Amino acid sequence: MTARTWAVLTLVVLGAGLALAVALLTPWQRVPAPRADQLAALRDLPADQVARGREFAAALRPGRYGGMGLSLAVALALGLTPLGARLVEFAGRLGGGAWWAQVLCGGLGVLLVADLVALPLAAWRHTILVRYGLSTQDWGGWLVDLLKAYAVGAVVGAVVLFGYFGLVRLAPRWWWAYGAAGAAALVALFSFVLPVLVEPVFNRFTPMPASPLRTELMALADRDGVPVREVLVADASRRTRAVNAYVSGLGPTRRIVVYDTLLREAPPAEVVAVAAHELGHAKDRDVLAGTLTGALAAAAGVVALYLIGGLAWPLRLAGAPDIGDPRAIGLLLALGAVAGLVGGPVQAYASRRIEARADAHALALTGDPAAFAAMQRRLAGVNLADPDPPYLEHALLGSHPSTVERIAAARAYARGAR
């Protein structure tokens, strides 16, 4: 059989594996959250809080959709016209014209152009966050964080691009097979290692002092059977008023991280409720499940890229001789943007189900639905969330259940417990 036939068969197997993984790992059984309870929860929320959350969401909405449309348009312009290829050629000549210079200078140049075009909308979003009091950053701090994000993205982008084009040069016929394995390995590496390395770039972490709350959090993790090394406090207040907590790391590096804003805003019972939710992700191995599906999707994407590279019209539009030439970097960006747009709603749906399962875990672990509901009201109020967002928007983009859905789940749990 030819390499292309093997690639088709491999793509079928990977696609079937991805579908099976999604089917088995997504919690399809919905946590009870009756609509009647949702409406009751909405009525119980302060009217000014609901109005402000909806006003904030409406203020962000044009930039959100505009940013999505602009990013897609730029990616298509760079990938489906010769513009991207010309940019790679120009940047490559500045680096000496070698293939690695085209990959490094041209690839990062293409990514930088895409980021710079979206920069005005990012700045506009920051002005809204400041206007509504959610952001505590001045423009200097915002710019520093932006440059840090660009630097991290540049490093990750350089690793991916060098790996891809290096494999194409080393194994012209079978690069897709090695690339699929490499892409899956990179997803696993980034999932478990990158957060531990990147988090300190944006926040400072200090151990939570000995206190009844720290003791309770460690005991909660022990009771849940989730080994936790320590409890850390993140200095989130230097950039935001938003409250949050999460569990980070794997095995000996796992720790509970609590925003300092959450400690200031919420009583201990609500902090425990947030931590219990995050422990649910660790207990159900959600990061591992996400890594598996991400690795399968990345591997399938590499094989699909090889097959797309056998089509003449995308390469002709992009002005690249073949998919393994650095001048095809813009085309890679465009294909990635389209794949993200198509897969986004599916990913959001699975994320909502996973988050709902973690909510159910928190309720069962703490046995305190009142604290859980109070925590959801506080999260919505401080984070300026729309407690009951438009159905279609939430279905397409929402990564978590809405506030009223989560409070309704707590009420349903309380009735069952009684």
Confidence of residue 44 (pLDDT cuts 50, 70, 90): very high
Given the DSSP bridges, would you call strands 255-259 and 245-248 parallel, antiparallel or unpaired? antiparallel
For the segment 167-172, the average pLDDT, to the nearest whole number, is: 92
* Domain membership of residue 98 as a residue range: 3-12+36-202+284-417
Other CB atoms within 10 Å distance of the CB of residue 239: 19
Q: Are 413 and 369 in contact (CB under 8 A)?
A: yes
Token duo for residue 404: 């009223």
Q: What is the mean pLDDT of residues 313-330?
A: 93
Cβ(199)–Cβ(205) under 8 Å? yes
What is the DSSP-derived secondary structure letter of residue 258? E
Percentage of residues in the chain with pLDDT exceeding 90?
80
Average pLDDT over residues 308-315: 92
pTM of this prediction? 0.91
Question: Is position 343 within any domain?
Answer: yes
What average pLDDT does the segment 208-213 reach? 94
Model confidence over 211-264: pLDDT tens digits? 999 999 999 999 999 989 899 999 999 999 999 998 887 776 788 999 999 999
297 located within any domain: yes
Locus of tokens 């490559």? 92
User: Is residue 267, in this structure, part of any structural domain at all?
Assistant: no
Segment 61-87 mean pLDDT? 94
pLDDT of 1 > 80? The answer is no
| Residue 248 lies inside a defined structural domain of this protein | no
Is there a domain that residue 288 lies in?
yes
Token digits of residue 388: 């009951």
Count of structural domains within the chain: 1
- Kindly report, residue by residue over 336-383, the tens digit of the pLDDT: 999 999 999 999 999 999 999 999 999 999 999 999 999 999 999 999
DSSP string, 196-253: HHHHHHH--EEEPPSSHHHHHHHHHHHHHT----EEEEE-GGGTB----EEEESSGGG
pLDDT in tens, 90-146: 988 887 778 888 998 999 899 899 999 999 999 999 999 999 999 999 999 999 999
Query: Would the pLDDT of 195 be above 90?
Result: no
HSE of 138, CA atoms in CB hemisphere, 13 A: 1
Q: What rounded mean pLDDT belongs to the chain?
A: 92
The answer, yes or no, to whether residue 193 has pLDDT greater than 80, is no
**pLDDT value at position 418?**
57
Contact 79, 308 (CB under 8 A): no
Looking at residue 389, what is its pLDDT? 96
Q: Is the residue at 244 inside a domain?
A: no
Is 252 part of a structural domain of the chain? no
Q: Domain for residue 268, yes or no?
A: no
Neighbour-count burial for 177-189, b at 16+ CB within 10 Å, e otherwise: bbbbebbbebbbe
Please tell me the predicted confidence (pLDDT) of residue 317: 94
